[in-house]
Structure 1
């Protein structure tokens, strides 16, 4: 069941929260690497396992991409959910930096 289906509804908190790790709110300018093009995005929250990204459009964003945060190594990501202007991603491989490192910015 898509996460977005429950936004703004009176659904049980148990249905809403299926995350493995707690998330921390952020406002980090980043970009999504799509071949030779980068799409600007804002990292709205992070955890040790993934993040929520705000984008101008979700159309054309592949299911897998590298998240580029200035001052950090590119992070391979896999999209786990999409809404009109947000995507939830899960970090792939072991290259991710702990969320606390991103929050220190």
Structure 2
């Protein structure tokens, strides 16, 4: 039996990466790992997504990236964000 993948509903294709990032809000930051990224958003992994606000700035120093974003989903230790 052949399993079909569900249709991809993303506007932009994602790239799998494994890079250190920082979720910045309220004058401080929380470390995270960027698991995948596209022109429109990213998936992040962190110790706990529960204390993360709905809107923050994502910084990925190795890519010179700094983007305002908002949370679109939360699951266990992962967050999905869309860039503003």
1:27 equivalent to 2:18? Answer yes
Corresponding residue for residue 13 of structure 1: 6
Moved over 4 A (4+): none
1:51 equivalent to 2:34? Answer no
Greater share of residues in strand: 2
Aligned length: 81
Normalised TM-score (structure 2) = 0.86
Greater share of residues in helix: 1
Superposed CA RMSD:
1.8
How big is the shift at 1:36?
2.1
Normalised TM-score (structure 1) = 0.70
* 1:26-75 deviations in Å (ceiling 9; x for gaps): 01101000212211000000111110001110111011100011152521
Q: Following superposition of structure 1 onto structure 2, how do residues 62-81 of structure 1 map, counting pairs within 5 Å?
A: 62-71=53-62, 72-81=64-73
